[in-house]
A and B are shown apart, each in its own frame.
Chain A
Amino acid sequence: MNKFEQELKNNNFTCSECKKCDKLVWPPSDFCNKCFGDVMWRPLSRTAKLVEFSRKNGEYFCIAEFEDQIRIMGTIENVENLQVGQTLNLIKCDYDGKEKFIFRSIR
């Protein structure tokens, strides 16, 4: 497991950030994708914006956007009256060979 995956497993959603130019580097990497500078790891906001969603059987999955730039796919637990653009809370992340993100809708 790399640093990102280890942190996810501990329910910490972190991302690499460039020490030199402060750019948030997604996907997580050991080098900045703008200036190739070294990175440090910092926690991301647990609040996200719902970009799009669909459903498989009873389970809702979605794209959520963090800090106006990082988009990931995850599961939404409570699903009443979901609306694109609404706020989601990242209540759990994990790693078991795949990255897992679980959200709750905030209304």
Chain B
Amino acid sequence: MRKVGIAGGGITKFTKSDISIESLMVSAVKPVFDSIPDLSQGDIDAVLTSTNANNKYLANIVSELSGISPKIAHSVESLCNSGTNCIVSAYAYISSGLADTALIIGSEKADSPGLVLEWDKSRGQYKHPIYWSSMFTSAHMRKFGTTLEDLAYVGAKNHRNALDNPYALFENAYSIEDIMQSKHLTENVRLLDCSMPCNGSAAILLASEDHIKKICDQPVWITGIGQKAISAGFTRNEDLSSMKSTIISAADAYKMSKKTHNDIDVAELHDAFSICEIIELEDLGLTRKGEGGSYVRRLHETDDRKINPRGGLIGSGHPLGATGIAQTIEIFQQLQGKAEKRQVDGAKTGLVHNMSAAATSSTVLILEQ
């Protein structure tokens, strides 16, 4: 397998404004070309689009709108982890030699059809994600004594981090008290515990080792990949205080990269809801089981940006198909030392965790300088 690196990325401001999915996608392609002066449209072998939008033939449409005639063009959909699934597909094309470069573009609109998995009969009438989130929260509280205040620290930390992310949907800080007093959607999920669907777009360029040296003097390498799809239906995840697909994905990604949780300097975690970040910290091995809540408190109290430096999904907004790509761009910038006010000093190894539909599937990427 050939080595695959990240050469550049582009993000647009996450908003609620109305714009077509095609324009959203091209708006993220532009900064990729702007940031890589030696890149021309003719260099792109593959264009992959990541979205839950029902539009057809988007990869070809966006290629044409961007003046690209790639060898390979298609879309990837996997609900909330479409973005990292798309990156993994591009990785496979490049590592196998089918392509030297791949441009991956993820975009979503706030009214995405991917927000609720209507197919899932096991959810009964409780199809909306707040209900599975509430079940995870009840289970974690019951087993480990996690509190509503612990959950509030996730939102407070991530909203504060998002203040330094110029592309974030949210531009206000929220205190622990604000979150504790925000509207209860269920007894243990409040409005400010939730990520918010929005419009957003992110694009990233991957290239083979030989090719990347021609266009980027500071590439970041994808050295570990783990993916697991347990099911589509929510209730297959037996232990509700844990995410089985995340545990398996993390083990595979660490093994492939020959790294452990101790090597991770900075990480983007899929905090669709506050409880998700707490469980994921534990399941990725970044803290001990049952200690996710106290770990997040410590991060908040010490202004430690190690986890979700761009503000996570809660602070940045969650345009489904763009999220995994925006997460990966954040770690790319962190490892390049170019994350500005969000920079984690000395970050050499980073992790991206992206998951779908109540963690019925997860993707974990390990990135290195």
Contacts and interface: CB of A to CB of B under 8 A. Distances in A.
A69 to B, nearest CB: 10
A100 B125 contact: yes
A72 B125 CA distance: 10
B235 to A, nearest CB: 3
Contact of B131 (A51, A61, A71): A61
A63 interface: yes
Decide if the interface of chain B is mainly helix, strand, loop or mixed.
helix
Interface stretch (B31-39, B70-78, B182-190, B249-257): B182-190
Interface residues of B, number: 24
Interface in A8-67: 26-28, 51-56, 61, 63
Contacts of A101: 124-125
Contacts of A73: 122-126, 131, 135, 234-235
B201 interface: no
A31 to B, nearest CB: 16
B130 to A, nearest CB: 8
B137 interface: yes
Nearest to B137: A54
B240 interface: yes
A98 B186 contact: no
A77 interface: no
Nearest to A51: B240
A54 B137 CA distance: 9
Nearest to B186: A56
A52 B138 contact: yes
B2 interface: no
Contact of A55 (B139, B187, B236): B187
Contact of A99 (B124, B135, B139, B185): B124
Contact of B135 (A28, A52, A70): A52
Interface in A89-106: 98-101
B185 A56 contact: yes
A25 to B, nearest CB: 12
Contacts of A84: 142
Given A27-B121, A71-B235, A98 B187 contact: no
Q: Most chain-B CB neighbours within 10 Å: which of A28, A72, A73, A74?
A: A73
Contacts of B138: 52-54
A72 B188 contact: no
Interface string B112-137: 00000000111111110001001101
B240 A72 contact: no
A100 B121 contact: no
A87 interface: no
B285 interface: no
Nearest to B119: A27
Contact of A74 (B124, B137, B139, B187): B124
B122 A72 contact: yes
A54 B124 CA distance: 15
A98 B235 contact: no
A100 B236 CA distance: 19
B274 to A, nearest CB: 14
A63 to B, nearest CB: 6
A63 B142 contact: no
Given A27-B233, A63-B235, A73-B235, A54 B135 contact: yes
Contact of B125 (A4, A27, A54, A99): A99
Given A61-B134, A63-B240, A71-B236, 9 more contacts: A4-B121, A27-B121, A54-B187, A54-B188, A61-B126, A74-B125, A75-B125, A98-B125, A101-B124
In the complex, the 7 A-B pairs of residues with the closest C-beta atoms, listed nearest first: A71-B235, A54-B134, A73-B124, A55-B187, A98-B125, A73-B126, A56-B186
Interface of A: 4, 26-28, 51-56, 61, 63, 70-75, 84, 98-101
